[in-house]
Structure formats: structure tokens, C-alpha cells
Structure 1
């Protein structure tokens, strides 16, 4: 069940008021660190969102989920602050995990694993990527090396994972491992002593709670009812999650770049140089004009892909195209905002510097630009050969 576009617009307006009026004031909070906002800050913000009626706004009472097109407006509004998606509970990986569980989990699994996420009381992590030094899965999931072995009525999982967003502090885990039947997804209660964080990586982005961790999984025991779907369907189920998740990343970061452009524009209008405002210097004015063009093209690309997904198809090709086009456009926008603002743009005085860092990471997360282009090129070849 989905909610109409009109309802999405009303929800987005409420989210935007909350993010601009309440969340933005927390952007200098001392509880923001190199590995994201602390759980204390997350719960404080979610309490405010709950009171304002905008917590988990993409999933309404009774479990009805916004259409992808309506979600585009809501998540863009949430993204107007780097803290917005965390505050209203539409941040990755939780948003993608909620979507996947809502689509394929059993009713018992939904009550146990999905409900705490929707309520904003718990965070989650998706354990798929593996360390490069182990030769494990990254952009190529076929290299999956984490092993799940049947043991009586349950399973035992062993392996290592890397770049696991939100592993520290997560209460729900979705672990991909190789079983006899093939790649399989397992639902895990966290914390668990068998899931050990080796270290949290120092990365250029800092908006996601818990940061990105390298994790060792050592004799993790799960019961048979913790398999998501059926054994061997792991790659298939991951695609249910991955195509929409690529697009929701685009939605959130479009909001962030919209805000960065607002800040850069206000700076260019006010700042004087060589006898006139910066905006009147063609080099600056043209950069801001190009930002408007890229913002609109990104918005249209997101809406087009959302419409495709709303037909019920997986939209793998369309989401790859959107992810490449939007992430590259947003990188150009964020870079121009920094350039327009000069020294102020590389300082922490505004969120422009953080948005630049976050969007640079986004060009890699959920598939680097080059991997998506390679995948699209393979499709072009297949189509040309009539396969």
C-alpha cells in the first residue's frame, strides 16, 4: 500500500519546517563527532521529531509506505540538514533496511526486527561488504566469503565485514553469508558477543551514527526463523533493497546540496569584492546558475526513476543511471558552493564543507560511478546482440 503524491507533499512540508526550524540548530552540537552523531543526540532529536509528528514520515500508521515519488519530496526535505535524516529516521542504512523488511520479512520477523526501527527506538546495520585484504565482496558480491553453516535447527556464521555503517550501537543486523544454497540473508539481534567491531574507520563523511566499521563475525549462532526469505535468495533480496536505497541516497543528498546552494548564494549576494557583490562577478554568478541547472536535472532524474520503481519493477538499470547522474551532479554543486565561498567554504562555519565531504563519499557508496557505468555498458552489449 502506498500514499498519494499529494499526501507526500504535505508530509514533506511538515518535515521541512521541522528540519529548518529545529534540527538545523543542532548542527554545531558537541555530540557530533568524526564518526557521526552520538546515540544520545540521535535519541534527543528523534524525541523532538516524535513530538512534532514527523518521525519515520515515509511509513505511516498501519505500515503504509509512501510511494517512491512521494518519498522523493519527503527525503529531500529531511536532507536539508546533515542531521535531518537521522532526526526523522530516514537515514541509511535504516531506511533501506526498513524497506527490505517491510517487503519480504514474515509477520513474526516484522514484529521482532522491523517494529523497533520504525518506532525510532533502534538502529540497524547491513553486513554485506567485506575487507579488500581478505579478497571478499565489495562492488563484486560474487566474492562473498562469509560462511553460514547449518547446525541443527539453526546456523553458525563466520567471516569479516567492512565499511559496515552504524554497526556500533545497532540493535538489528542483516548479515549476508554464503550457505550451501548460495548467498543468504540472516536477521540478527545486536549487540552479540559473536559480532565484534575491530575498528571504526576514519572516513571523510561524518553524518551517519556509528560511523563505518570493520567487523569480525565469529561463530555467530542464529535460529532457523532468522533467515530472511529462503536460503540462497540473498542476492535476489539484496536487489529489492539496493535499487530503492540508491535512489533514497540521491533524495537525501539533493536536499543537502539545495541547502548548501542556499548558503553559497546568500554569501555571494552579501560578500563584496572589487567594488561589487560576488554575485555580480560573472565567474561566481555563472557557478550559481550552473548549480540551479544541476539541481533541477538531479530532481528530474530522481522523479523519473521513482516513477519507474512505483510501477513495481526492480528498476536496476534506471537506479544505476540515476545514481551516476545525480551523484556526479551533486558533486559539482557541492564543489561550486565551496569555491564560491572561498576560505569560508572550507571552514566549519557552515555545513557547506560537510556537504562537500558527504557527497564525495556518496559517489562511492551504493556502488561507485564506474561500477554502474560498467554494468550499463554490459547491458548495452547484451541489447546490441539481442540477448
Structure 2
């Protein structure tokens, strides 16, 4: 039977092959139409690099800070150095002899006066209880104010290599990046007084609305490489510029809103204090228009230059202080509560306008929550304490405290809002 099995296999093989051949002949021809090419998704263009005002605010000030190692490498005798802080101590005592030429007074001026925000590093020096060092990153209202101060510092550097205070004095310094958009100055200042002389190592740099000020007591004839110190400050200012451009390219700043007029007949406690207006009183507006914005209110003129107008509600329940710019014609700031002015009216905090929901009498911690990333300020000469916060466009809010505002028990005793771009920088020479 082996032959029969072979024959059967042969027949089955032929039938199978025929069936496959028939199927092959009936198969449709392949589609010669090419597959459609997928359409590429449109590319999202990169946003154009931000090219507006370079205004730093809040924690962006940290971008200017050198590292501890960088500072130690360039300044002699450093012992202990603090962590960066948002606390600022101002002396604000003024006075003293006038140098010849007077432009040299810019080198001794307290740079932090007029600032609206700050970040600080401090350090002690070996073998001395009184010698200190510090670096301030100071936010001013706008680029124009910074440019004016930097112009004065540059002029003082050029003119004050030798000058007279009470005795022969001088600033031995270097300017780096002159003519560039990032400039810096550093050197050693010697101030001659009748009873001796004082030496300080100093440095300055600027970018946008920020001035960086470096200070260290020059003890035991110590010296610095002024050019290297200036280059360090300049490098960090340039890096901060690049970081801000990147930040504002990705997140463009929004323009300030036009203030909406508030109801002048509403209780003044319902008025909101913002960096644009206090109720119907608009910052930057004409003084006469501001006084007329609250019909029936009683206005009292300033008793002397530099003090405010007092505007009091018809029923006597609340008062605000209206401070003008240098011309006396525009509203620069408005305050409520304590403003350290003789004869100011006193009212319960609940009857006064509030800022960010914070009233006079509230804990300062409420102001810190409402306005984060601010600056804690101590003014030594007047014994005052403040918590301050500024906007990118020069708006400024200041909470006066009854003690160090970092103290959890601190209470708000006064509130002020201001258009800080209306400030006039100090002029020397």
C-alpha cells in the first residue's frame, strides 16, 4: 500500500497547488496610490525677547548677590557672614561737613535712602567689634532714578581722587564697563576729619532699577583689588539682567490698570488703598482735583514745607494725609494712621481705608501675607520700623509698625501708598 499512499499525496498536492494558483489569479492588484504625506504641524515661533524697562522686584533682587566665596576672595579679613536677608537698616541722620567739591558728598551718602526694596548681606571682620561689611541690593522706583544716582557716583569718582572734607580726603577707584549698559565702580574712600581719618572699601554697580552697594571698613591699612571687585559686581549685574529678560520674555508683565473711581460718599473704611489710588483720590493727579474728589471733606493746608495736607471726613470719623511731589501740585502719596508728623489726627483703625484688606491695628503678619517678598526696614535715627513692598512699575506700599516688623507681635500703626516714580533723587554739586 505504500504506492497508494504516495498517489493520494500527489493528487492532494496538485489540487492544493491549483487552488492556490486560482486564488492568486483572483487577487486584486496592489493600490499604486502613494500614502499621503502627513502635514507637519505649524511651528510655534519663539516669543520675541523682552525689550521693555528692566525693573526688578521682590526676590528677583537675589539675582545680584555674589556668593560668600566670591566676596571672601576679594575682601580682606572677613570673619562671619550672614545669610541673605530682606532686612534693611537705615541710619538716616544726615548732616555733617560739606566736601569741596560738593559732588564728593555722593560717596558718603546713604544709598538706601529712597529705595523701595532691598536684599542684604552683612559680615564681621576679624579682630574688631566695630568694623563691618555689607552688600545692599537696592530697588528704586525706576531706571531714571538709578541712572541719576549712578551718573553722580561716576562724576564723583572722576572728580574726587583728591578733595577736602575737614582735611584732605580722596577716593582711589576704578570704573569698569564705562559706556556699556553694565557699569561698576570700586575703590577705597578716605575721609579726613579734624580728629583723624576713616577708610572704607566701597563698590557700586547698576542695572535697570537696581543699585548694588558694597561697603567694608578699611582697617589696618587693608587694600583691595578695586578692578576685580568692580568686575565681580558688574558680572552679577549682567547675569541678573539676562535672568530678568528671560523671565519677562516667558511671562510678560501686565500693564498697570487705570484706577476705578470709588464712591466718595461711602464710608472711608470701605476705601481701598492701592498704589494707584485711595478711594477717589488718584495718585499722580492734580492736588486740587484730589481735594475736590471728596465733596464736603475738610482740607487743612500744611503747616510747613514737606508736611501733608490733611483731609477729614464730614463727620470727623476719618482723616488721610495727602503728600505732594516736589512741585507741590501733584499727589505723590497718601497715608493713614501714624506717619510721624506732629499734630496728625488720630482715629480708630477700623474707620480708616485699608491696603490689601489690612487695617491700622492689624498684626504686621497680615501685611506680610497680603504683600509677600517685601522688605523689613529699621530707621535708627527716628526709631521707626516698616514693612515695605513695591510693584514693578514704581508703586509703593509701606506699613509702619510699633516694633520690629519681623516680631510676630508687631502691629500696624500706619499705612502709606505712593507713586515712588515722583521722587527726586538727592543732588550733589
Q: Which has the larger radius of gyration?
A: 2
TM-score normalised by L of structure 2: 0.21
Q: Which has the higher helix share?
A: 1
Give the structure with the higher percent strand. 2
TM-score by length of 1: 0.23
